[in-house]
Amino acid sequence: MATELRLKELSKKEELFTHGHRLCAGCGAPIIVKMVLLASEYPVIACSSTGCLEVSSCISEYTAWKIPWIHSAFENAAATIAGVESMYKALKKKGRADKEIKFVTFCGDGGTYDIGLQSLSGAMERGHDMLYICYDNGAYMNTGIQRSSATPLGADTTTSPAGSVVPGKLQQRKDLTKIMAAHNIPYAAQASPSHWLDLMKKVRKALKIKGPKFMNILSPCNRGWRSRTDDAIMLSRLAVQTCYWPLYEVEDGVTRITFKPKEKKPIVDFLKPQGRFKHLFNPENEWIIKKFQEMTDKEWELLLKSS
Partner 1 sequence: MMKPKGWRELTPGAVILEAGNAVEFKTGSWRAFRPVWREENCIQCLFCWLYCPDMAVIVRDGKRADFNYDYCKGCGICALECPGKKGNKAIIMQEEGK
Task: Tell me if 148 sits within 8 A of 232, measured CB to CB.
Answer: no
- Residue 197 Cβ, how far from partner 1 at the closest point, in Å? 10
Nearest CA to 156 out of 177, 181, 139, 176 is that of 139
Site for partner 1 (CB under 8 A): which residue of 143, 159, 229, 282?
229
Distances (CA, A) of 209 to 36, 38, 84, 258, 275: 15, 18, 18, 18, 40
Q: Is 270 in the site for partner 1 (CB under 8 A)?
A: no
Q: Is 36 in the site for partner 1 (CB under 8 A)?
A: no
How much is the CA Rg of the chain, to the nearest whole Å? 19
Would you give the binding string for partner 1 spanning residues 94-113, x where CB under 8 A is met? --------------------
Stretch in the footprint of partner 1 (CB under 8 A) among 29-37, 42-50, 124-132, 240-248: 29-37
Residue 83 to residue 68: CA distance in whole angstroms? 14
Would you give the binding string for partner 1 spanning residues 44-63, x where CB under 8 A is met? -------------xxxxxxx
Distances (CA, A) of 149 to 14, 125, 169, 183: 36, 22, 10, 19
Site for partner 1 (CB under 8 A): which residue of 1, 4, 20, 164?
20
Size of the site for partner 1 (CB under 8 A): 46
Of 26 and 186, nearer to partner 1 (C-beta) is 26
Task: Tell me if 189 sits within 8 A of 177, measured CB to CB.
Answer: yes
Q: Is 7 in the site for partner 1 (CB under 8 A)?
A: yes
Q: Is 66 in the site for partner 1 (CB under 8 A)?
A: yes
Q: Is 293 in the site for partner 1 (CB under 8 A)?
A: no
Q: Is 86 in the site for partner 1 (CB under 8 A)?
A: no
SS3 letters for 113-152? Answer: HHCCHHHHHHHHHHCCCEEEEEEECCCECCCCCECCCCCC
Q: Is 305 in the site for partner 1 (CB under 8 A)?
A: no
Which amino acid type is present at position 143? T
Residue 132 to residue 103: CA distance in whole angstroms? 8
Of 20 and 283, nearer to partner 1 (C-beta) is 20
Alpha-carbon dihedral sign for residues 59, 64, 69, 74: negative
Site for partner 1 (CB under 8 A): which residue of 5, 26, 174, 183?
26
- Residue 31 Cβ, how far from partner 1 at the closest point, in Å? 5
Pairing of strands 130-136, 102-108: parallel
Task: Tell me if 24 sits within 8 A of 127, measured CB to CB.
Answer: no
- Residue 103 Cβ, how far from partner 1 at the closest point, in Å? 18
Residue 274 to residue 91: CA distance in whole angstroms? 49
Stretch in the footprint of partner 1 (CB under 8 A) among 7-15, 88-96, 117-125, 247-255: 7-15
The HSE-up count of residue 131 (CA atoms within 13 Å, CB side) is 30
Q: Is 269 in the site for partner 1 (CB under 8 A)?
A: no
Stretch in the footprint of partner 1 (CB under 8 A) among 121-129, 138-146, 227-235, 279-287: 227-235
- Residue 11 Cβ, how far from partner 1 at the closest point, in Å? 4
Q: Is 196 in the site for partner 1 (CB under 8 A)?
A: yes
Which parts of this chain interact with partner 1 (CB under 8 A)?
7-12, 15-31, 34-35, 57-67, 193, 196, 222, 228-234
